[in-house]
Amino acid sequence: TNVWIGYEPFYLAREINALDQDKVRLVEYTSSLPVLNAFRNGLLDVAALTLDESLVMTTQIPDLTVVAVLDISNGADALLARPNIHSISELKNKAVAVENLATGGYLLMRALQHSGIALTDVTIQTEAADRHERILDKGNVAAVVTYDPHKSQLLAAGMRSLFDSSQIPGEIVDVLVVRSQLLREKPTQLQHLLKAWFIAQGHLQRNRHDALIKMQARQRLNAEQLNLSLTQLRFPSQQENIALLTDPEKLSATTRLLQQHMFHNGLLPNNKAPLLKLDAAWIIGR
């Protein structure tokens, strides 16, 4: 995973001893690009990715399978600007940083659409999320598309939120992907990982205070910031996951919007729409 707060239940599972480290080893990177590279190069068996990242991966790894919908962003991804910028329209002819042209570029496009501004009216820079505060401070960019924990840290530093994922509900989704080979070779470990994820979800709901304490050090946010961030995410339950993964239409509208954006920006080949394989059997239990 990267440090996105939506993946935190994996680490919480480890903290509450729901995750056996002899079966599953968690690996965390500072941003999404090294996660993609490590998964592509076979250094990872499983990866937590955004839906659009998964679409890109299917063009490179045809036997990719989505085995869980981890979270749906409802405000935790945002377009943040320097304090002197009060509206999206003020971003015209200015530079905006995104971590990648997929998720970040997509949210920026949707934000600009809401204000009637073309994507070509801004200059897009790709910068890792952990560099966003630095380039905003230096004045290299007017705004950034970011996510928690970076979002909360930037807001605390005085940056202004212009748009967030709550304004495009259901469109920013994170999933867990594996190669088909893993399904054959390590089924016990995969089932254990998913079981631990849902145990941690339950702990987060029933023992909120304890969960927030355990998550603070890793996310570098205080309990109040963490709690607010978590309210801007939705973690689908096991039953919701089964519905999302067994009914192709549940994710299809979001997938089509992402594909259109990615085709238009050259992030996917135009000749073929990638097909995401969805498999709920690992949540149901084989």
Q: What digits encode the pLDDT tens for the residues 41-92?
A: 999 999 999 998 898 898 888 889 999 999 999 999 999 999 999 999 999 9
**pLDDT band with cut points at 50, 70 and 90 for residue 258:** confident
Residue 62 confidence (pLDDT): 84
Q: What digits encode the pLDDT tens for the residues 124-182?
A: 999 988 889 899 988 889 999 998 888 988 999 999 999 999 999 888 999 999 998 89
Residue 271 confidence (pLDDT): 61
Model pTM? Answer: 0.89
Average pLDDT value for the chain: 91
Cβ burial 40-68 (10 Å sphere, 16+ → b, else e): eeeebbbbbbbbbbbbbbbeebeebbbbb
Percent of the chain past pLDDT 70, that is, above it, reads 98
Distance CA 81, CA 90 (A): 10
Residue 148 confidence (pLDDT): 84
Least Cα distance to 182 among 58, 9, 64 occurs for 64
- Whether the per-residue pLDDT at 286 is higher than 60: the answer is no
Residue 276 confidence (pLDDT): 83
- Whether the per-residue pLDDT at 272 is higher than 70: the answer is no
Number of C-beta neighbours around residue 241 at 10 A:
24
